[in-house]
Amino acid sequence: MADGRPRVVVTGMGVVAPLGIGLDEFWANAAEGKSGVGRMTLADPEGYPCQVAGECLDFDYTQYMDRKDGRRMARFSQIAVAASKMALEHAGIDLDALSEADRERFGVIMGNGGGGLQHDQEAVRTMDDRGGMKVDPFYVSKRLGNMAGGNVAIQFGLMGYNNTVTTACAAGTQAIGDAVEILRRGAADIMLAGGAEAGICELGLAGFSSMRALSTGYNDTPERASRPFDRDRDGFAPGEGAGMLILETLEHARARGAEPLAEIAGYGVGADAAYLVAPAENGAGAARAMRLAMADAGVNPEEIDAVSAHATSTDVGDRAETEALKSVFGDHAKKLHISAMKSQIGHLLGGAGGVEMVSVVQSLRTGIVTPTLNLDNPSDGCDLDYVPHTSREANPRIILKDSFGFGGQNAVLVVRRFEG
């Protein structure tokens, strides 16, 4: 870059998502406008108002790791390891050829919101039924939120910078942004970053149902439940999945003959400092993070072609995000192609940003912007171009990816088509 910082590029991706396991299946279904939301099976929804979820139904951890190792992991760690293995292979990284010095410069940053939530549920039931000494001896190591990143490092022998970002629904995006900063400051040569979440269980269902945050009116038509920006939305559809990216400096990528898939040009993060579970009025905090990310990338608002929206399908969130976009982009907001991936996969919480970033990179590579499903009647104030119903050949050059989390967390990335 002109400011002397190293450029950071994406050279590999892996994904486990309700739309498919692996990049090819995921992207084919995403571009075709399919929905991965269905009847909930990973938890018994009987008696709860929400009975739909975006689940990775075909996931089999034994395809990606030793069976014994996998049994000692929570599901969110299993899918993180699987997506990471895919990303490593996609990037053409031969782990056997890495020296110890290489491994010490190879880091991991994982985004996660809830850890192994279902293991809390199981442990308490075991204590009540059989006593505390019968609790799974791997309960703690399954439960802890940092164990996805820890398991990834252990499975692949990655000894560099390791961290877990737990900023709720912003975590996956923030993990990727933090990895960019690690590379820029020279603390690593290559990073594996993204997000993973797998918390579909009765405890999570109970908690979000009590908050009245989940969709309840589409149990008979699950594919219609996640409907960002639509007048008839009634909450988010819970989901699970992982998206992992290989990031490296352009110099490092060129030295090993890797093909850059996209460039992460800018990163902005900040806090609303307002409410626990609602965004600041008018999306002021989100707007600040967007401006920071564009300033970091050295681009003007008019240069942004598309937005991968956070878009959870809640009234207050969708309105605040739209207001933030109008505030930042002014008249140009009407020209943006705004895509809501959660309409296809549900809300993956800490894993959302990782999976959505895979989609962003694929949009830059293919020219296709994925749709916002179920946008039949845009609600008041939601009057931008949200790419309704079907994918669009938009050929974007620069995409802004935003994510927002409980606690007022805002994380935004600016991603550019790689151009030499």
Domains of the chain: which residue ranges?
Answer: 9-255, 268-416
Residue 380: alpha-carbon gap to chain centroid: 27
Burial 141-170 (b: 16+ CB within 10 A, else e): bbbbbbbbbbbbbebbebbbbbbbbbbbbb
Distant-in-sequence, close-in-space partners of 153: CB < 8 Å, separation ≥ 6: 108, 159, 162
- CA 215 – CA 220 distance, rounded (Å): 12
Gyration radius of the chain's alpha carbons:
20
Distances (CA, A) of 38 to 29, 219, 222, 231: 15, 9, 5, 21
- Render pLDDT for 42-98 as a digit per residue (tens, 0 to 9): 999 999 999 999 999 999 999 999 999 999 999 999 999 999 999 999 999 999 999
- Burial (CB < 10 A; 0-12, 13-18, 19+), residue 307, is buried
Give the CA angle between residues 235, 238, 242 to the nearest 5°.
Answer: 140
Average pLDDT taken over every residue of the chain? 96
Assess whether pLDDT exceeds 50 at residue 35: yes
Task: For 339-363, write each residue's pLDDT tens digit.
Answer: 999 999 999 999 999 999 999 999 9
Give per-residue pLDDT as tens, 166-219. 999 999 999 999 999 999 999 999 999 999 999 999 999 999 999 999 999 999
For residues 269 and 407, the answer to whether their CB atoms sit within 8 Å is no
For residues 104 and 352, give the distance between their C-alpha atoms in angstroms, rounded to a whole number.
28
CATH entry 3.40.47.10 includes domain 9-255: yes
- The total of other beta-carbon atoms located within 10 Å of residue 25's CB is 14
Let me know if the fold of 9-255 is the same as that of 268-416. Answer: yes
pLDDT of residue 142: 93
Rounded distance between C-alpha atoms, residue 174 and residue 46, angstroms: 35
Amino acid 273: pLDDT: 84
pTM of the model: 0.97
Residue 389 falls in the annotated catalytic set: no
Q: Does residue 264 contact residue 194 with C-beta atoms inside 8 Å?
A: no
Concatenate the DSSP letters of all residues of 140-162 into one string: HHHH-TTHHHHHHHHHHT--S-E
The highest-level CATH class for domain 268-416 is: alpha beta
Euclidean distance between CA atoms 61 and 75, whole angstroms: 9
Catalytic-role residue among 50, 90, 347, 382: 347
pLDDT above 90 coverage of the chain, percent: 96
Would residue 169 show up in a list of annotated catalytic residues for this protein? yes
Q: 50, 169, 201, 382: which is the annotated catalytic residue? A: 169
| Other Cβ atoms closer than 10 A to 234 | 18
Q: Which of 56, 310, 337, 382 is catalytic?
A: 310
Which residues pair with residue 9 across a beta bridge? 248, 263
**Cα–Cα distance, 239 to 225 (Å, whole number):** 12
pLDDT value for 1: 46
* pLDDT tens digits along 307-346: 999 999 999 999 999 999 999 999 999 999 999 999 999 9
- C-alpha span between 113 and 120 (Å, rounded): 14
Considering the chain, what percentage of its residues have pLDDT values greater than 70?
Answer: 100
Told to judge if 347 belongs to the known catalytic residues of this protein, a careful annotator would answer yes
